[in-house]
Structure 1
Amino acid sequence: MSCNNSIVVLKFGGTSVSNLHRWQQILKIIQQRLKQGFQVAIVHSAKSGITNYLEKFTQTGALDLIDSIAESMQELAQQLNVPADIERYIQQLITYSKQKTFSNHDIANILSFGELMTHHIALRYLSQHVDIVSLDPKVLFISQADDDRLESSRVLSAKCNIAQHKTSHQCVIMPGFIAADKHGHTIVLGRGGSDTSASYLAVSLAASRIEIWTDVHGIFSANPHILSSARLIEKIGYEEAREIAASGGKVLHPRCILPAEQNNIPIHIYNSKDMDADGTIIKKGYESSSPRVRAVNVRHKVTLVSMDSINMWHQAGFMGKIFTVYEKLGLSIDIVVTAQTNVTISLDTADNVINKEILQQLQAHLSLYCQVVIYKNCSAVTLVGYRMRALLGQIAPIISGFAEQRIYLTSQSSNDLNISIVVDEDQSDKLLIALHDDLITENANQYGLGATWQQLQDRLVEPVETPKNWWHIKRQQLLSIAQQHSPCYVYDESTIIRQIRLLKSLTNIDKIFFAMKSNANADVLRTIYAHGIGIETVSPGEIDRVENAIHAFSDEDILFTPNFAAIDEYQAALNKNFHVTIDNKFILQEYPQVFANKKLILRLDPGHGSGHHRYVRTAGEQSKFGIHHSELQEVKELCDQHNITIVGLHAHAGSGILEHQNWQRIIQYLTDQVSIFDAVTLINIGGGFGVTENPHDKGLDINKLDAIIGRFKNRYPKLQFWMEPGRFLVANAGALMAKVTQTKVKGSNGYIGLETGMNSLIRPALYGAWHNIVNLSRLDDNLDITATIVGPMCETGDIIGVDRKVPYSQAGDVYLIANCGAYGFSMSSNYNLRAPAQEIFLKAKK
């Protein structure tokens, strides 16, 4: 198809359309292209956050979400000084909220409202400045008739035919993400599908190029949030770009590249926050010509299906039978690996809507032919490049370093453009870093690679004075302490008190308990209790610590929340008249006499966990915590039978959560269960409140969290609302100090060895946790080297920080690891018979 050189398609994502400043930038880009002689076609996503609200609405039908959606869209309209014109969509959502279930077409229709509401506001705003008309994607993009996938995939992740369209208008605008089936019903293109809309529209209009304007500079050689040294890929061919998008690259929707490639339309990716910077250009002629790795990507939530049968060996037609099962269920297979008696495949959520029911059907059908094991929540680490087989000699030693970890499968693509390794989720980032360091960082002068992500970020940061941390302010005092007591944890009482005051500003919380498993230091406990915070315990040892540290406390201020504990622990806590939480039907069945005639709190599983790592997600199918929804009625009957009064319901989704909407879902789930347990007087929303690593980082919005709790409090005025934070109160108040023992520097890279490691701080090794690390002795020196900070333990995993910018360091320098006030000393050990760091408490000045 020949291209019309006068048309350029501009696509703007959710963050790019979320406020007045961003729309002013969009207008500037439009006017620039018009001035250059182009006709302009605009495709936009929904305002950032709206699709998340709508997705949650399809799961819960909660009216509170409608309020949040209306408030967010009205805020945008007010900023742009145009009418919101969203009432019809809000009314439809209210009508939908009365339904108990939603069909796939209902879900598609609901999800489309984000783009449509944004579109009405955008059209009114832009019409004030340019001559512009609206295009209807449901006329241009019609679903493919030969799509044999499940209805859910056809409707919610549609593939479309493209109608040709000509326009004489200088400027047109179209909402992305939306299409239609042959009957005219709304369907959608899947999350991130506005990229595909832009590609479809470029084909429809025979455009000369597509410009994707987003909040990153382009495609990087790895996820820059994992690896700040990831390089911008400035030039790349279509095929390699497609492989990167399909293997977990977040910048482009995987499906958007092929239509552009088939019609030879270049794709340019630019950062709307840095309009003059270089980006990524995807174009014919930019293909690699020699063996090399372009990128290392990770896809999470990959499902593996392992099929074993001796009957498949030399058995004609066996593979056809099992793959027919996937076809009938409408499941698209990603990776296939075969052996004589085993076939293992992977299913990717990019092309499949995978849920519990689908997997149950799959297992049942496949079990007719073979033994089936399904592994959920794996991660696929994929190397993308050119002539990958020629690089196997370099790749194999890196993978062999992970021999002690579980590698489920490795796969080479037939087109020689990628190699995938499927591992446990917690190993994926480590493998990515190792592969990227050896295959990309060490080959820094490769064609088509630009600046690192960190270098590009530095362009965007205007020099501002960063507020100083407490340990920065008290640097000299800490250095004196370290000379005598290192390695040591230091806890700053002033910072703890500040965090307590912040939480107590929540006007809709009736009672706060401190999760002391995060920090059981006696001085910390005394400070927290003295400021009106109760104590949440999980073991007899913690109860003993409270009794020894706080000599006069009320039984009402102690919460006991064990998990898989011995029954005598529950009995002892009940005898002390503490609040007791149980999270397993088993103990009610086996030991009813212990709980008869008692008041209890139930910990429920809301069905989905949150947090930065699978080990801190404390809800969902993969978690050992909480009572499943299917067991609640049976628990109710057991309680009635033994005169057990359920006075509270509790849930805790995970740790390190910075999205306030998490608690909307938690509270909604808990209050929905009050109808089962009608004696409930309190809702414990748990903890997991994320903390910021640096003073200028954006943290949890406390005011929005309070507003969410307030809406439920108004709806349930007889209920009390409790919470049990741990890390939020003490993490920023603690720091670990240790002296340098040895250094190993080669050029501008190397290792810094400290006198303590994972025996004192295991979070980096266990969770992949990131902590700010500084050389306190040389705090103002230039950061000249990139170093990995390690401890003295006889373990490869004894790593505290990877690729940190630090000054040249000497033995005896004091290093400080920040934000260690939670789950630091409390998780320490005497591994290698090395004593962990001691604890020191800095009293606040009166």
Structure 2
Amino acid sequence: MTVDLTTFAGIHRPIYILEGSKLRRNLELIQHVAKAADVEIILAFKAYALWKTFPIFKEYIGATTASSLNEAKLAFYEFGSKAHTFSPAYTDYEIDEIAKYSSHLTFNSLSQYARYAQRVKAGNPKISIGLRVNPEYSEVGTDLYNPCALGTRFGVTADKLPVTFPNDVEGFHCHCHCESGADVFQRTLQHIEEKFSPWFSQLKWINFGGGHLMTRSDYDVDLLIRVLEGFHDRYPHLQVILEPGSAFAWQTGPLVSQVVDVVEDHGIQTAILNVSFTCHMPDCLEMPYQPAVRNAKTLPMEAANGASLDAYIYRLGGNSCLSGDFMGSWQFDHQLQIGENIIFEDMIHYTTVKTNTFNGISHPALGIADDSGNLTILREYDYEDYKSRMD
């Protein structure tokens, strides 16, 4: 099937469309940073797990990061390498299998380390064990996404660490960012070193986590490379790992949906779509944020209240029964028509992995398109997919 990559005319059902050339653009930049700064950059499945595209990824990177047994299995069986694994809490019934599929395994607490470290090493003697640490500093403004917020469940603070680690502790994992710039990392790194550098001589690696949005157009890539080079100069024995999620799939494709009805109440027009914010774009409600809509102007949330119908200002509503399954407002240059496409920009990272079937709402299909608009459908969903979640 061939589609127009501007309007997606001919598409009549919801679909996430990954644009292959944009994905490769991001991968090339990430590979450049890894080589220039002499670090390892790996893919975090929590943000992107379209395994049918892994052959493309493997041209540029060699490993992935997992936070569950299923993700660790995906790394091993579909990406072809063992995972760098972190979980807030491992369980008795999964820890042995997780260790089997992991090259690195990070414990979130000293109690989890004490409970499982020997068991993990017995099952996988080559595994490298790490501890997640909390530098008590983050510039993430939304607490829902801030791993260093007061009372966090993530990581060990410096005051709780022993002076000397057991020999099997080889690394630190430290995640403090969310779609952050290199300047944020530069400032955060000062706190990490201040808190934890006394232990660096005992380690082999340090993982600075995700949230390094190096593929964003205004990201200072050169600064990131300089900061990483400076860290290498100070601690040349430490292998440095980054595990961004959003950066890999940033601006690589939209979610294409269609208008199925337009309703009005107290002067507020809502275009009801065949996609759902709560099912397909939950980050919009969690953060919250308004996604960009192609050929529409994003307005303040309340702009639809009392707006003139001639202004073509609409809320966009989902098709679930949740009352709050809507966002607003956007201004179009025409009156919306039943069946026309509404294109949500930049909806590949996180949305594709967070999509759910609440209310029996189907997942949008998944497709990949080349520059000529040749669209290959990777996956479509039906009743059996919904039913199997309850088997």
Alignment TM-score, normalising by the size of structure 2: 0.80
The CA RMSD measured in Å over matched residues stands at: 2.8
Q: Which residue of 2 aligns with 1:271?
A: none
Q: Which residue of 1 aligns with 2:316?
A: 789
Q: Which residue of 2 aligns with 1:762?
A: 282
Q: Which residue of 2 aligns with 1:191?
A: none
Q: Does 1:513 align with 2:42?
A: yes
Q: Does 1:580 align with 2:102?
A: no
- SS of the residue aligned with 1:654? coil
Which one of 636, 642, 646 corresponds to residue 169 of structure 2?
A: 646
| 1:43-91 per-position Cα deviation (integer Å, ceiling 9, x unaligned) | xxxxxxxxxxxxxxxxxxxxxxxxxxxxxxxxxxxxxxxxxxxxxxxxx
- SS of the residue aligned with 1:802? strand
Q: Which residue of 2 aligns with 1:707?
A: 226
| 1:262-310 per-position Cα deviation (integer Å, ceiling 9, x unaligned) | xxxxxxxxxxxxxxxxxxxxxxxxxxxxxxxxxxxxxxxxxxxxxxxxx
The separation in 1 between residues aligned to 2:28 and 2:324, in whole angstroms, is 38
| 1:184-243 per-position Cα deviation (integer Å, ceiling 9, x unaligned) | xxxxxxxxxxxxxxxxxxxxxxxxxxxxxxxxxxxxxxxxxxxxxxxxxxxxxxxxxxxx
Deviation at 1:475, TM superposition (A): 2.1
- SS of the residue aligned with 2:339? coil
* Alignment-mate amino acid for residue 839 of structure 1: L
The separation in 2 between residues aligned to 1:809 and 1:832, in whole angstroms, is 26
Q: Which residue of 2 aligns with 1:803?
A: 329
User: Contact between 1:748 and 1:785, CA under 8 Å: does it hold in 2?
Assistant: no
Q: Does 1:812 align with 2:339?
A: yes
Instruction: Select the structure that is richer in helix.
Output: 1
Which one of 133, 139, 147 corresponds to residue 610 of structure 1?
A: 139
Q: Which residue of 2 aligns with 1:541?
A: 70
Which one of 664, 668, 688 corresponds to residue 190 of structure 2?
A: 668
Task: Give matches, 1:395-544, under 5 Å.
Answer: 474-475=5-6, 478-480=8-10, 482-483=11-12, 486-506=13-33, 507-544=36-73
- SS of the residue aligned with 2:218? coil
- SS of the residue aligned with 1:710? helix
Q: Does 1:720 align with 2:247?
A: no
| 1:749-793 per-position Cα deviation (integer Å, ceiling 9, x unaligned) | 6211101112111111121023111369xxxxxx94221111011
Go from structure 1 to structure 2 and tell me whether the alpha carbon gap of 1:802 and 1:832 turns closer, same or farther (over 3 Å shift): same
Which one of 348, 354, 364 corresponds to residue 821 of structure 1?
A: 348
Q: Which residue of 1 aligns with 2:364?
A: 837
Q: Which residue of 2 aligns with 1:424?
A: none
Q: Which has the higher contact order (CA 8 A, sep 6+)?
A: 2
Q: Which residue of 2 aligns with 1:630?
A: 159
Which one of 199, 203, 206 corresponds to residue 680 of structure 1?
A: 203
| 1:105-135 per-position Cα deviation (integer Å, ceiling 9, x unaligned) | xxxxxxxxxxxxxxxxxxxxxxxxxxxxxxx
Unaligned runs of 5+ in 1: 1-471, 777-782
Which one of 82, 86, 91 corresponds to residue 561 of structure 1?
A: 86
| 1:689-744 per-position Cα deviation (integer Å, ceiling 9, x unaligned) | 24788xxxx63211112111122222222222210010011131131111101113
User: Contact between 1:571 and 1:594, CA under 8 Å: does it hold in 2?
Assistant: yes
| 1:806-839 per-position Cα deviation (integer Å, ceiling 9, x unaligned) | 2321110111111111111211111111112121
User: Contact between 2:72 and 2:102, CA under 8 Å: does it hold in 1?
Assistant: no
| 1:326-384 per-position Cα deviation (integer Å, ceiling 9, x unaligned) | xxxxxxxxxxxxxxxxxxxxxxxxxxxxxxxxxxxxxxxxxxxxxxxxxxxxxxxxxxx
* Alignment-mate amino acid for residue 20 of structure 2: E
Q: Which residue of 1 aligns with 2:269?
A: 750
- SS of the residue aligned with 1:789? strand
- SS of the residue aligned with 2:280? coil
Go from structure 1 to structure 2 and tell me whether the alpha carbon gap of 1:759 and 1:746 turns closer, same or farther (over 3 Å shift): closer
- SS of the residue aligned with 2:279? coil
Equivalenced residue count is 349
Q: Report percent identity of matched pairs.
A: 17
User: Contact between 1:493 and 1:527, CA under 8 Å: does it hold in 2?
Assistant: no
The separation in 2 between residues aligned to 1:691 and 1:811, in whole angstroms, is 39
User: Contact between 1:490 and 1:839, CA under 8 Å: does it hold in 2?
Assistant: yes
Higher-Rg structure is 1
Go from structure 1 to structure 2 and tell me whether the alpha carbon gap of 1:805 and 1:727 turns closer, same or farther (over 3 Å shift): same
The separation in 2 between residues aligned to 1:603 and 1:526, in whole angstroms, is 30
Q: Which residue of 1 aligns with 2:212?
A: 689
Go from structure 1 to structure 2 and tell me whether the alpha carbon gap of 1:699 and 1:761 turns closer, same or farther (over 3 Å shift): same
- SS of the residue aligned with 2:294? strand
The separation in 2 between residues aligned to 1:789 and 1:567, in whole angstroms, is 45
- SS of the residue aligned with 2:41? strand
Deviation at 1:592, TM superposition (A): 4.5
Go from structure 1 to structure 2 and tell me whether the alpha carbon gap of 1:473 and 1:713 turns closer, same or farther (over 3 Å shift): farther
Deviation at 1:624, TM superposition (A): 1.7
Go from structure 1 to structure 2 and tell me whether the alpha carbon gap of 1:595 and 1:583 turns closer, same or farther (over 3 Å shift): same
The separation in 2 between residues aligned to 1:532 and 1:843, in whole angstroms, is 21
The separation in 1 between residues aligned to 2:266 and 2:311, in whole angstroms, is 10
The separation in 2 between residues aligned to 1:734 and 1:824, in whole angstroms, is 11
The separation in 2 between residues aligned to 1:568 and 1:810, in whole angstroms, is 53
Q: Which residue of 1 aligns with 2:294?
A: 774
Unaligned runs of 5+ in 2: 297-309, 375-391
Which one of 114, 123, 128 corresponds to residue 589 of structure 1?
A: 114
The separation in 2 between residues aligned to 1:473 and 1:709, in whole angstroms, is 41
Q: Does 1:738 align with 2:257?
A: yes
* Alignment-mate amino acid for residue 571 of structure 1: D
